[in-house]
Structure 1
Amino acid sequence: MIPLFKVPMSPGAPAAVGDVLASGQIGQGAKVEEFERKIAERIDNPYVATVNSATAALQLGVRLAASTLPELPDGVEGEVLSTPLTMEATNWAILANGLKIKWVDIDEATLNVDLDDLARKITPATRAIMIVHFAGYPVDLARLGEILDGAEAKFGFRPTVIEDSAHAWGASFQGKPIGSHGNITVFSFQAIKHLTSGDGGALVLPNEAQYKRAKLLRWFGIDREVKDRLRNPPDIAEFGYKFHMNDINASIGLANMEIIDDVLKKHRDNAAFYDAELAGFDGVELTERAEDRESSFWIYPMKVERRADFDRKLTDAGVMVSNVHQRNDIHTVVRKFDALLPGLDRVADRIACVPVGSWVSEEDRQHIVDTIKAGW
């Protein structure tokens, strides 16, 4: 079976982990700091705080975003605009902060949020806007900026954007890496991501003040940089969490930094092959490719007719296929936020993703294309 996901791991990772284990320092230490510096260099943004998961980063990001805006009048609940087409972690972070979810419809061409629908749904109660660069394909951040300009002119404040970039390590928009566009950005280093640290994530901030606050909140609100902290504990002004990364995970991430360019290149090469071979093929509709952005192609989504038959055909041919993420709005826990989402309704049952990663050989990808072209 050609897998949909496989862990990309540097040959140097075991030795790097062994060095950390032998050092006697396995918590948050020098390796975490080094990993943060390397991430900062790659995305051209110095304000990087690693954490133990992207889910933790999302929860911190929502808290930071919501607390920067004026307080709402009594009886008015804060809300976060978000996409239902994502991993549940994206939206459960909103619930964890005691905020309402306001669903935004899907752009059928990109599978990202429909920015026109998003613009219509911003209100004075909007505390943040959550976007997902689905499959690693960036949202149109320039158009989003224009929408925020309009909201600021209309309501007198600018909602903070949180870019869920769990799929989008290495992606770029208008020549700039995702993570450097002035928003709160979250990366995932979970096991099957392009860049893995075994598990972990990073919260990337737009300014120094939020960066310093994030570093406090990831470890109980305690300032770890205070000298003689154990003998003279500093005051805690704001409660935080146990969300920090450790040196074991950071050492894995650092080792995989050495192979990440090759990993990304193979994802993109395989995606380009599918683009060329499947363009215009009957029963398959590919997603958008715009010249002003570069996808990381963490997954390769397409929209297919009769998806159950498509899935069965590929599975029988030894190819793993999946929609990867089901729509979040169907869950009981968020039923009270139901909204009309006609774009999502039209595409949700048609999305299929085929293997595109660095483990997919030229023979594998040809087999996948031949199987699709044979019909289902």
Structure 2
Amino acid sequence: MQDALLEAIRVWPAGPPRDPKGWLVTVAWNRFLDATRAEAARRRREDLVDAQPAPGPAATADDTLQLYFLCAHPSLTPASAVALTLRAVGGLTTRQIAQAYLVPEATMAQRISRAKKTVAGVRLDQPGDVATVLRVLYLVFNEGYSGDVDLAAEAIRLTRQLAAAYDHPEVAGLLALMLLHHARRAARTAPDGALIPLAEQDRTRWDTALIAEGVQILQTALSRDRLGEFQAQAAIAALHADAPTAAETDWIQIVEWYDELAALTDSPVVRLNRAVAVGEADGPHAGLAALAALDPSLPRYTAVSAYLRERTGDLTAAARLYAEAAYQATNAAERDHLLRQAARLNTDGHT
């Protein structure tokens, strides 16, 4: 029921149901079924393992990456292949995949169902293309990095395997991006689990070995002059990692890389992040002007607006927006962080 109430907070403002009680009961029941099925599947797997005889000496084999390729079957569209692989092999829930694609959960459920029907009865002996597998690994890493599911290390392991097998600058770019982000992971949360923004992180806790490896891989990839979105994202991450302090971040160059990334992807999420960078490079009013061109329904749009409003000195509006963004947050750590920001500004405004 708690999950149902959180989902209601997220979706009802856009369109409340005609039968709120029925809606809550249905969503709560579906969440209960998901949890029950997952627990039953886990117990079955454990029972099967317990029933197996002790293994003898054998060569270690890992076919996980091959499964990613097989799920990216040529008979599927790239979007359907990614969704199916994330669900069947990556272990993400339908809701997590829907959030990654900025679509309703019901829409993603239908997409996955159609993908399953498409490959039903088809021999999965034709591997898909590398670009689809890269997209899957990227989304799996992002979900792990968010803290909801600890998949980041597994995504890095598989991307290392892919980089060893495929000499392509975008494969290298994705690996560099993962390493550079993962290098900061220890500093992203406080002991109580609270999120620590990038500007406030203790940079002595960043993994300098991972940063050095990521930068070297990225430089080699960029030297081949075949720029792709993962290389551009990695370049942005490298500029953050290279700054000794938050104040020394080269925001002007970061904006330039966001321009390159936006030209490659035309992604609204990229443009949202670019608005933050513009706010740092040219001032919060410039950031708000860049933000005004985007759809307010974008995830984290309200949080970005709150941050930029605070930078302009409009603390009342910023506190209201932080509180609004907290109700839109998709995980507890982010929600708590935004609520703390709202409380901080409300307290400051009365002192």
Q: TM-score, normalised by structure 1?
A: 0.27
- Higher strand share goes to which structure? 1
Q: TM-score, normalised by structure 2?
A: 0.28
- Higher helix share goes to which structure? 2
